[in-house]
Structure 1
Amino acid sequence: MSPKQRTWIFWGLAAVCVGMQCVSILLGWPIQSKVLQTLRLWTWLFYFSFGGEIAKWLPSVESKIGKQSYFLMLVLLTVGVIVYQYFIVNSIVCFEGQRPLQVEYFYDSIIVTILWVGTLFAFIKRCDLKRKTRQTVSCFSRLTLGVYCSHLLVRDLITHFVGMNLFASTLLVWFAVTLVSITLVEVLRRLPFGR
Protein backbone atom coordinates (compact mmCIF):
# COMPACT_ATOMS: atom_id res chain seq x y z
CA MET A 1 0.00 0.00 0.00
CA SER A 2 1.39 3.39 -0.96
CA PRO A 3 1.85 6.24 1.56
CA LYS A 4 -0.84 8.21 -0.26
CA GLN A 5 -3.33 5.35 0.12
CA ARG A 6 -2.52 5.09 3.84
CA THR A 7 -3.14 8.82 4.21
CA TRP A 8 -6.51 8.49 2.46
CA ILE A 9 -7.44 5.59 4.74
CA PHE A 10 -6.43 7.68 7.77
CA TRP A 11 -8.61 10.61 6.73
CA GLY A 12 -11.50 8.29 5.84
CA LEU A 13 -11.35 6.70 9.29
CA ALA A 14 -11.06 10.17 10.85
CA ALA A 15 -14.24 11.18 9.00
CA VAL A 16 -16.07 8.13 10.35
CA CYS A 17 -14.96 8.93 13.92
CA VAL A 18 -15.94 12.59 13.64
CA GLY A 19 -19.23 11.54 12.07
CA MET A 20 -19.96 9.22 15.00
CA GLN A 21 -19.26 12.02 17.49
CA CYS A 22 -21.38 14.57 15.58
CA VAL A 23 -24.34 12.22 15.17
CA SER A 24 -24.13 11.34 18.89
CA ILE A 25 -24.24 15.04 19.78
CA LEU A 26 -27.18 15.68 17.43
CA LEU A 27 -29.15 12.69 18.72
CA GLY A 28 -28.25 13.28 22.36
CA TRP A 29 -27.03 9.72 22.97
CA PRO A 30 -23.88 7.86 21.95
CA ILE A 31 -24.59 5.79 18.86
CA GLN A 32 -21.35 3.90 19.53
CA SER A 33 -23.13 2.24 22.46
CA LYS A 34 -24.80 -0.11 19.97
CA VAL A 35 -21.42 -1.75 19.29
CA LEU A 36 -19.30 -3.37 21.99
CA GLN A 37 -16.23 -1.22 22.65
CA THR A 38 -13.71 -3.86 21.65
CA LEU A 39 -15.51 -4.35 18.30
CA ARG A 40 -15.48 -0.69 17.26
CA LEU A 41 -12.95 -1.40 14.56
CA TRP A 42 -13.25 2.04 12.93
CA THR A 43 -11.85 3.59 16.13
CA TRP A 44 -9.00 1.10 16.59
CA LEU A 45 -8.01 1.27 12.91
CA PHE A 46 -8.08 5.06 13.15
CA TYR A 47 -5.71 5.00 16.14
CA PHE A 48 -3.43 2.54 14.34
CA SER A 49 -3.26 4.67 11.20
CA PHE A 50 -2.88 7.82 13.32
CA GLY A 51 0.40 6.45 14.66
CA GLY A 52 1.78 6.31 11.12
CA GLU A 53 0.52 9.77 10.25
CA ILE A 54 1.84 11.45 13.38
CA ALA A 55 5.31 10.08 12.61
CA LYS A 56 5.19 12.01 9.32
CA TRP A 57 3.98 15.26 10.91
CA LEU A 58 6.29 15.41 13.93
CA PRO A 59 9.53 16.58 12.31
CA SER A 60 7.91 19.70 10.84
CA VAL A 61 6.03 20.49 14.06
CA GLU A 62 9.08 19.96 16.28
CA SER A 63 11.11 22.50 14.34
CA LYS A 64 8.44 25.21 14.76
CA ILE A 65 7.40 24.82 18.42
CA GLY A 66 9.73 24.88 21.44
CA LYS A 67 9.49 22.30 24.24
CA GLN A 68 8.11 24.82 26.78
CA SER A 69 5.46 26.02 24.33
CA TYR A 70 4.59 22.40 23.61
CA PHE A 71 4.20 21.69 27.33
CA LEU A 72 1.94 24.73 27.76
CA MET A 73 -0.13 23.63 24.78
CA LEU A 74 -0.44 20.13 26.29
CA VAL A 75 -1.61 21.54 29.65
CA LEU A 76 -4.17 23.82 27.99
CA LEU A 77 -5.44 20.98 25.77
CA THR A 78 -5.70 18.68 28.80
CA VAL A 79 -7.84 21.22 30.65
CA GLY A 80 -9.83 21.81 27.46
CA VAL A 81 -10.49 18.10 26.98
CA ILE A 82 -11.68 17.72 30.58
CA VAL A 83 -14.03 20.71 30.28
CA TYR A 84 -15.27 19.54 26.86
CA GLN A 85 -16.00 16.01 28.05
CA TYR A 86 -17.66 17.24 31.25
CA PHE A 87 -19.86 19.62 29.23
CA ILE A 88 -20.80 16.99 26.64
CA VAL A 89 -21.60 14.37 29.28
CA ASN A 90 -23.70 16.66 31.45
CA SER A 91 -25.39 18.77 28.79
CA ILE A 92 -25.69 17.01 25.47
CA VAL A 93 -24.91 13.31 25.19
CA CYS A 94 -26.20 11.12 28.00
CA PHE A 95 -28.29 8.09 28.76
CA GLU A 96 -31.51 9.53 30.10
CA GLY A 97 -31.90 8.80 33.81
CA GLN A 98 -28.81 6.62 33.94
CA ARG A 99 -25.23 6.98 35.08
CA PRO A 100 -22.90 9.37 33.24
CA LEU A 101 -21.18 8.30 30.04
CA GLN A 102 -17.99 6.33 30.19
CA VAL A 103 -14.83 7.65 28.57
CA GLU A 104 -15.11 5.09 25.76
CA TYR A 105 -17.68 7.28 24.01
CA PHE A 106 -15.04 9.98 23.50
CA TYR A 107 -12.56 7.76 21.64
CA ASP A 108 -14.07 8.98 18.35
CA SER A 109 -13.76 12.65 19.30
CA ILE A 110 -11.43 14.66 17.07
CA ILE A 111 -10.52 16.86 20.05
CA VAL A 112 -9.42 13.89 22.13
CA THR A 113 -7.74 11.86 19.41
CA ILE A 114 -5.94 14.12 17.01
CA LEU A 115 -5.36 17.20 19.13
CA TRP A 116 -4.75 15.84 22.62
CA VAL A 117 -3.29 12.39 21.92
CA GLY A 118 -1.15 13.79 19.11
CA THR A 119 0.16 16.58 21.34
CA LEU A 120 0.78 14.15 24.22
CA PHE A 121 2.79 11.71 22.08
CA ALA A 122 4.70 14.49 20.37
CA PHE A 123 5.61 15.99 23.76
CA ILE A 124 6.72 12.64 25.17
CA LYS A 125 8.80 11.98 22.06
CA ARG A 126 10.58 15.32 22.52
CA CYS A 127 11.45 14.64 26.14
CA ASP A 128 14.98 13.48 26.76
CA LEU A 129 14.16 10.37 28.75
CA LYS A 130 16.87 8.97 30.95
CA ARG A 131 17.69 5.27 30.80
CA LYS A 132 15.83 4.49 34.04
CA THR A 133 12.71 6.26 32.74
CA ARG A 134 12.88 4.31 29.47
CA GLN A 135 13.12 1.06 31.47
CA THR A 136 10.07 2.06 33.53
CA VAL A 137 8.07 2.87 30.40
CA SER A 138 9.17 -0.42 28.85
CA CYS A 139 8.10 -2.30 31.99
CA PHE A 140 4.64 -0.71 32.01
CA SER A 141 4.16 -1.12 28.27
CA ARG A 142 4.29 -4.91 28.72
CA LEU A 143 1.23 -4.61 30.96
CA THR A 144 -0.99 -2.55 28.65
CA LEU A 145 -2.92 -5.40 27.01
CA GLY A 146 -3.61 -7.02 30.38
CA VAL A 147 -4.66 -3.70 31.90
CA TYR A 148 -6.92 -3.05 28.90
CA CYS A 149 -8.56 -6.46 29.32
CA SER A 150 -8.99 -6.21 33.10
CA HIS A 151 -9.75 -2.53 33.71
CA LEU A 152 -13.48 -2.70 32.92
CA LEU A 153 -13.99 -5.51 35.41
CA VAL A 154 -11.91 -3.67 38.02
CA ARG A 155 -13.77 -0.41 37.29
CA ASP A 156 -17.17 -2.04 37.72
CA LEU A 157 -16.07 -3.61 40.99
CA ILE A 158 -14.68 -0.35 42.38
CA THR A 159 -17.62 1.81 41.24
CA HIS A 160 -19.95 -0.65 42.98
CA PHE A 161 -18.47 0.61 46.26
CA VAL A 162 -17.45 4.17 45.32
CA GLY A 163 -19.85 6.51 43.52
CA MET A 164 -18.68 8.63 40.61
CA ASN A 165 -20.88 11.65 41.16
CA LEU A 166 -18.17 14.19 41.94
CA PHE A 167 -15.09 15.22 40.01
CA ALA A 168 -12.85 14.23 42.95
CA SER A 169 -14.44 10.77 43.22
CA THR A 170 -13.97 10.27 39.48
CA LEU A 171 -10.26 11.01 39.84
CA LEU A 172 -10.09 8.65 42.82
CA VAL A 173 -11.79 5.89 40.83
CA TRP A 174 -9.46 6.45 37.86
CA PHE A 175 -6.39 6.24 40.11
CA ALA A 176 -7.71 3.16 41.95
CA VAL A 177 -8.65 1.34 38.71
CA THR A 178 -5.24 2.08 37.20
CA LEU A 179 -3.35 0.96 40.30
CA VAL A 180 -5.42 -2.19 40.90
CA SER A 181 -5.33 -3.20 37.21
CA ILE A 182 -1.55 -2.77 36.97
CA THR A 183 -1.04 -4.69 40.22
CA LEU A 184 -3.39 -7.49 39.14
CA VAL A 185 -1.72 -7.90 35.75
CA GLU A 186 1.78 -7.80 37.25
CA VAL A 187 0.82 -10.50 39.80
CA LEU A 188 -0.72 -12.68 37.08
CA ARG A 189 2.33 -12.16 34.86
CA ARG A 190 4.63 -13.48 37.59
CA LEU A 191 2.62 -16.70 38.02
CA PRO A 192 3.87 -19.71 36.02
CA PHE A 193 0.75 -19.81 33.81
CA GLY A 194 0.76 -16.03 33.28
CA ARG A 195 3.90 -15.86 31.18
Structure 2
Amino acid sequence: MSTPRAVAPVNVRLIRPSDSVSEITRLLHRAYAPQVAMGLKPLAGRQDDGVTADRAANSECYLALLNEGGRERIVGVILFEEHEKATFPAFFLRPDVCHFAQFGVDPDMQGRGIGRALLETVERRAREKRATELALSMAEPDKELFDFYLKRGYRFVEHWQWPYTNYRSCILSKALA
Protein backbone atom coordinates (compact mmCIF):
# COMPACT_ATOMS: atom_id res chain seq x y z
CA MET A 1 0.00 0.00 0.00
CA SER A 2 1.50 3.32 -1.02
CA THR A 3 1.35 6.39 1.15
CA PRO A 4 0.41 9.79 -0.23
CA ARG A 5 3.36 11.95 -1.17
CA ALA A 6 3.76 15.08 0.90
CA VAL A 7 2.83 18.36 -0.69
CA ALA A 8 2.99 21.92 0.50
CA PRO A 9 -0.38 23.38 1.45
CA VAL A 10 -2.55 24.05 -1.56
CA ASN A 11 -4.57 27.23 -1.83
CA VAL A 12 -7.98 26.88 -3.52
CA ARG A 13 -9.52 30.10 -4.79
CA LEU A 14 -11.61 31.55 -7.58
CA ILE A 15 -9.88 32.31 -10.85
CA ARG A 16 -8.56 35.86 -11.23
CA PRO A 17 -8.02 37.91 -14.41
CA SER A 18 -4.26 37.60 -13.85
CA ASP A 19 -4.35 33.78 -13.93
CA SER A 20 -2.98 32.16 -17.07
CA VAL A 21 -5.75 30.61 -19.17
CA SER A 22 -3.05 28.89 -21.25
CA GLU A 23 -1.64 27.27 -18.11
CA ILE A 24 -5.13 25.99 -17.21
CA THR A 25 -5.66 24.64 -20.73
CA ARG A 26 -2.31 22.83 -20.67
CA LEU A 27 -3.11 21.34 -17.26
CA LEU A 28 -6.49 20.09 -18.53
CA HIS A 29 -4.89 18.51 -21.59
CA ARG A 30 -2.43 16.65 -19.33
CA ALA A 31 -5.15 15.62 -16.86
CA TYR A 32 -7.47 14.31 -19.57
CA ALA A 33 -4.69 12.65 -21.62
CA PRO A 34 -5.55 9.14 -20.32
CA GLN A 35 -9.08 9.48 -21.72
CA VAL A 36 -7.74 10.82 -25.02
CA ALA A 37 -5.36 7.82 -25.14
CA MET A 38 -8.45 5.57 -24.79
CA GLY A 39 -9.82 7.15 -28.00
CA LEU A 40 -12.28 9.39 -26.14
CA LYS A 41 -12.80 13.04 -27.02
CA PRO A 42 -13.55 14.89 -23.77
CA LEU A 43 -13.95 18.61 -24.32
CA ALA A 44 -11.46 19.46 -21.55
CA GLY A 45 -8.85 17.27 -23.25
CA ARG A 46 -8.96 19.18 -26.53
CA GLN A 47 -10.38 22.65 -25.85
CA ASP A 48 -8.38 25.74 -26.79
CA ASP A 49 -7.70 28.77 -24.59
CA GLY A 50 -10.84 30.52 -25.85
CA VAL A 51 -13.05 27.66 -24.70
CA THR A 52 -11.20 27.47 -21.37
CA ALA A 53 -11.76 31.21 -20.83
CA ASP A 54 -15.42 30.95 -21.82
CA ARG A 55 -16.06 28.02 -19.50
CA ALA A 56 -14.34 29.80 -16.62
CA ALA A 57 -16.40 32.95 -17.24
CA ASN A 58 -19.64 30.95 -17.24
CA SER A 59 -19.10 29.22 -13.92
CA GLU A 60 -17.43 29.56 -10.56
CA CYS A 61 -13.97 28.44 -11.62
CA TYR A 62 -11.81 27.29 -8.72
CA LEU A 63 -8.08 26.78 -9.02
CA ALA A 64 -5.77 24.81 -6.75
CA LEU A 65 -2.46 26.62 -6.48
CA LEU A 66 0.85 25.52 -5.05
CA ASN A 67 3.34 28.15 -3.90
CA GLU A 68 6.75 27.40 -5.37
CA GLY A 69 9.38 29.91 -4.36
CA GLY A 70 6.96 32.82 -4.29
CA ARG A 71 5.21 31.86 -7.54
CA GLU A 72 1.80 30.24 -7.57
CA ARG A 73 1.58 27.25 -9.91
CA ILE A 74 -1.86 26.02 -11.01
CA VAL A 75 -2.10 22.32 -10.10
CA GLY A 76 -5.86 21.77 -10.30
CA VAL A 77 -9.13 23.20 -11.60
CA ILE A 78 -12.85 22.60 -11.15
CA LEU A 79 -15.95 24.39 -12.46
CA PHE A 80 -18.97 24.81 -10.19
CA GLU A 81 -22.41 25.41 -11.70
CA GLU A 82 -21.19 25.91 -15.26
CA HIS A 83 -23.74 27.43 -17.63
CA GLU A 84 -23.38 26.35 -21.23
CA LYS A 85 -25.35 26.32 -24.46
CA ALA A 86 -25.75 22.53 -24.58
CA THR A 87 -28.89 21.04 -23.08
CA PHE A 88 -28.29 19.72 -19.57
CA PRO A 89 -29.40 16.38 -18.20
CA ALA A 90 -32.75 16.69 -16.40
CA PHE A 91 -31.08 15.78 -13.10
CA PHE A 92 -28.81 18.85 -13.32
CA LEU A 93 -31.90 21.07 -13.66
CA ARG A 94 -33.51 20.00 -10.40
CA PRO A 95 -33.64 22.93 -7.92
CA ASP A 96 -32.00 20.85 -5.18
CA VAL A 97 -29.04 19.83 -7.36
CA CYS A 98 -25.75 21.64 -8.05
CA HIS A 99 -23.13 20.24 -10.41
CA PHE A 100 -19.46 20.49 -11.22
CA ALA A 101 -17.41 19.92 -14.37
CA GLN A 102 -13.93 20.17 -15.87
CA PHE A 103 -12.31 18.67 -12.78
CA GLY A 104 -8.62 18.07 -13.31
CA VAL A 105 -5.42 17.77 -11.30
CA ASP A 106 -1.90 17.88 -12.73
CA PRO A 107 -0.99 14.19 -13.21
CA ASP A 108 2.38 14.77 -11.50
CA MET A 109 0.54 16.05 -8.42
CA GLN A 110 -2.23 13.46 -8.12
CA GLY A 111 -2.52 11.49 -4.89
CA ARG A 112 -1.56 14.46 -2.72
CA GLY A 113 -4.99 15.72 -1.63
CA ILE A 114 -5.38 18.40 -4.31
CA GLY A 115 -8.44 16.78 -5.86
CA ARG A 116 -9.96 16.31 -2.41
CA ALA A 117 -9.47 20.02 -1.67
CA LEU A 118 -11.21 20.98 -4.93
CA LEU A 119 -14.09 18.55 -4.33
CA GLU A 120 -14.52 19.83 -0.76
CA THR A 121 -14.72 23.37 -2.14
CA VAL A 122 -17.58 22.59 -4.53
CA GLU A 123 -19.35 20.46 -1.91
CA ARG A 124 -19.20 23.42 0.49
CA ARG A 125 -20.52 25.77 -2.21
CA ALA A 126 -23.39 23.38 -2.98
CA ARG A 127 -24.34 23.28 0.71
CA GLU A 128 -24.20 27.09 0.84
CA LYS A 129 -26.69 27.12 -2.04
CA ARG A 130 -28.85 24.70 -0.02
CA ALA A 131 -28.47 21.89 -2.54
CA THR A 132 -29.12 18.37 -1.30
CA GLU A 133 -27.22 16.75 -4.19
CA LEU A 134 -23.95 17.45 -6.01
CA ALA A 135 -23.81 15.95 -9.50
CA LEU A 136 -21.28 15.50 -12.28
CA SER A 137 -20.93 14.02 -15.74
CA MET A 138 -18.12 11.61 -16.56
CA ALA A 139 -17.05 9.43 -19.48
CA GLU A 140 -18.69 6.02 -19.07
CA PRO A 141 -15.73 4.10 -20.60
CA ASP A 142 -13.36 5.45 -17.90
CA LYS A 143 -13.92 2.72 -15.29
CA GLU A 144 -11.05 3.96 -13.10
CA LEU A 145 -12.66 7.39 -12.84
CA PHE A 146 -16.06 5.80 -12.14
CA ASP A 147 -14.52 3.88 -9.22
CA PHE A 148 -12.83 7.08 -7.98
CA TYR A 149 -16.24 8.74 -7.60
CA LEU A 150 -17.97 5.67 -6.13
CA LYS A 151 -15.34 5.57 -3.36
CA ARG A 152 -16.21 9.18 -2.56
CA GLY A 153 -19.91 8.53 -2.10
CA TYR A 154 -21.22 9.27 -5.59
CA ARG A 155 -23.80 7.01 -7.20
CA PHE A 156 -25.02 6.43 -10.75
CA VAL A 157 -28.14 8.43 -11.72
CA GLU A 158 -28.54 8.18 -15.50
CA HIS A 159 -26.75 8.10 -18.84
CA TRP A 160 -26.34 11.22 -20.96
CA GLN A 161 -25.00 12.09 -24.40
CA TRP A 162 -23.31 15.47 -24.77
CA PRO A 163 -23.26 16.84 -28.34
CA TYR A 164 -19.50 17.44 -28.28
CA THR A 165 -18.19 14.06 -27.08
CA ASN A 166 -17.83 10.68 -28.80
CA TYR A 167 -18.92 8.60 -25.81
CA ARG A 168 -21.88 8.13 -23.51
CA SER A 169 -21.58 9.86 -20.16
CA CYS A 170 -22.66 8.76 -16.71
CA ILE A 171 -24.41 11.28 -14.51
CA LEU A 172 -23.33 10.66 -10.93
CA SER A 173 -24.50 12.38 -7.77
CA LYS A 174 -23.71 12.53 -4.08
CA ALA A 175 -26.21 13.28 -1.34
CA LEU A 176 -24.97 16.19 0.76
CA ALA A 177 -25.35 16.01 4.53
Identify whether the pair has TM-score above 0.5, normalized to the shorter chain: no
Structure that is richer in helix per residue: 1
Structure that is richer in strand per residue: 2
TM-score, normalised via structure 1 length? 0.26
Larger Rg: 1
TM-score, normalised via structure 2 length? 0.27
